[in-house]
Structure 1
Amino acid sequence: RPNMRFVPIKSGENQGFLMLHRARGLLVRQRTMTACAIRAHFAEFGIIVGQGRQRVDGLVDVLDDEELTLPAHARIALAVLVNQLKELDRQVEAIERELAQIQRVNPMAKLLSSIPGIGPITATALAATVPDATIFRSGREFAAWLGLTPKQNSTGGKDRFGRITKQGDSYLRHLLVI
């Protein structure tokens, strides 16, 4: 087929970059789950705060308060979760520092990070996923590959656009949109 586009082969180095991104994503999800668990357990005892990491950090400070009447077993369980949250924070920060170092060294990632709104994490993910951007004829073709364009059902000179297809790389789309 003459119009068929083939997937470029990624180098071992690019696969390693993407592995760092996948590990970071997993740790961020685990950190979110742990923070939600801490909020939920405090809510069991009537200590309710809104969503968000900053508010969970406030709960961590409340746990150290001796005037708080929590059962000993609850304190132990919450202390374990707080320690896990701190460890996950440390691990995510270590991976983000490594990605920032990669971004400073990799010429493609450095060029991509000069675009407003593209930081070291997105730049390294784009550089590792798409090593050769010349395979795309236009920016719209690249956006379609990512899954950021609406589905077209056009006929007879009438353009009909549907919803965003979401068929591309979900991780890159997440970094670019959210």
Structure 2
Amino acid sequence: MSLSIYSIDLAKHSFSIHGEDTNGNTLIHKTISRAKVLTFFANLPPAIVGMEACGSSHYWARELTKLGHTAKIMASKYVAPFRTGAKNDLNDAVAICVAVTRPSTRFVKIKSAEQQSILMLHRARDNWVHERTALLNQIRAVMAEFGIIAPKGRHALQANIGHVLEDAENQLPDLARAILADCYDHLLSINQRIADQERCFDMLVNHSNNAQKIMKVAGVGPITATVVIASIGKGEQFDKGRDFAAWLELVPTQYSTGGKPRLGRITKKGDKYLRTLLVHGARAAITNIGNKTDRLSLWCKGLVERRGLKRAIVALAAKNARIIWSLLRNDTEYQVAV
């Protein structure tokens, strides 16, 4: 039996809902309050419910799934072509209802609350790292204003701040010294927060066989392993490893017409955080190849010679993405090819 189709234009307080039966007849087309959403769907027989990907979409998808409905999340780019008339919430709901039925629409896998919690940990750490970088740059600039040139590097700068504060001969005014001391205390606090969060990553890896499995791949550590597990689970949403690499935008863009394939550059779309981790991991792996003679190391060395270091780094990141998908999807162990 075919299911009726409903769509929700998600918001904070007012939710626009559109529904159609199997014959395309409109069942509902109105806006209701947040408090009435779950009650409304609890009184409906099982149906397909579509929604755009946004900050609360995974929560609503989980709640609707508990009620027996089939929740589907899609990116807004699949909805926009089907919007007719003015841009408003009800018209968006109609467009979502159309887009959810199209065979070409790609849907976002619903994340569990545990996956979202791990991603929240990653976002918090990333925020603290950015704040630490900004604070270090501020400290470096303030010291330069008084003729004190800080050494290069984060660790060298942190070690130098204490000496600057204790040096009574550097002619640093008392007010400036007090502010610099406050900045230094805040820096130590941020360092402690980052260290605590990184210990959380180690704990998560110890309780995840899949994370331990993909950490055997060159350039993949606890941070990358945990964010991969939280982002894609076992990778069932991808048909092959190249699809995962393409989702991360680690493959060239294609503009082909008239039977002439044209490949361009990689873009900055996709999951920027995960792509950055894979690229940095690949850079670390390539720069530490040394005299290794396994098949992957020889492939990397040859690629560096032919195409240069930066292209080789991105190529290894794309290869690692495909390897990670294969390990998760096929439940296999990573073995270094000799």
Which deviates the most, 107-116 or 167-176? 107-116
Between the two proteins, the alignment pairs up a number of residues equal to: 178
Structure 2 counterpart of 1:45: 146
Does residue 1:107 correspond to 2:220, yes or no?
Answer: no
Q: Distance in 2 between matches of 1:108 and 1:101?
A: 13
Structure 1 counterpart of 2:128: 27
Q: Distance in 1 between matches of 2:148 and 2:195?
A: 29
Does residue 1:123 correspond to 2:225, yes or no?
Answer: yes
User: Which structure has greater helix proportion?
Assistant: 1
**Partner residue of 2:167 out of 65, 76, 83:** 65
User: Which structure has greater strand proportion?
Assistant: 2
Q: Distance in 2 between matches of 1:131 and 1:109?
A: 10
Which deviates the most, 51-60 or 32-41? 51-60
Gaps of 5+ in 1: none
Structure 1 counterpart of 2:192: 90
TM-superposition CA deviations, 1:115-164 (whole Å, max 9, x none): 11100001000000001313212222111111212110123443311121
Which deviates the most, 25-34 or 126-135? 126-135
The alignment's C-alpha RMSD in Å is: 1.5
Does residue 1:11 correspond to 2:112, yes or no?
Answer: yes
The residue identity in structure 2 corresponding to 1:163 is R
TM-score (norm: length of structure 1): 0.93
Asked whether the 8 Å contact 1:38–1:81 carries over to 2, the reply is yes
Q: Distance in 2 between matches of 1:58 and 1:47?
A: 14
Which deviates the most, 91-100 or 65-74? 65-74
Residue 51 of structure 1 and its aligned partner are, at CA, apart by 4.1
Q: Distance in 2 between matches of 1:40 and 1:30?
A: 15
Residue 58 of structure 1 and its aligned partner are, at CA, apart by 3.4
TM-score (norm: length of structure 2): 0.50
The structure showing larger relative contact order (alpha-carbon pairs under 8 Å, at least 6 residues apart) is 1
The residue identity in structure 2 corresponding to 1:147 is E
The residue identity in structure 2 corresponding to 1:17 is I
Asked whether the 8 Å contact 1:148–1:166 carries over to 2, the reply is no
- What's the % identity of the aligned pairs? 46
Asked whether the 8 Å contact 1:147–1:164 carries over to 2, the reply is yes
Answer with 1 or 2: which has the greater Rg: 2
Asked whether the 8 Å contact 1:151–1:162 carries over to 2, the reply is yes
Asked whether the 8 Å contact 1:8–1:132 carries over to 2, the reply is no
Asked whether the 8 Å contact 1:8–1:131 carries over to 2, the reply is no
**1:124-139 pair list within 5 angstroms:** 124-139=226-241
The residue identity in structure 1 corresponding to 2:273 is Y
Asked whether the 8 Å contact 1:62–1:68 carries over to 2, the reply is no
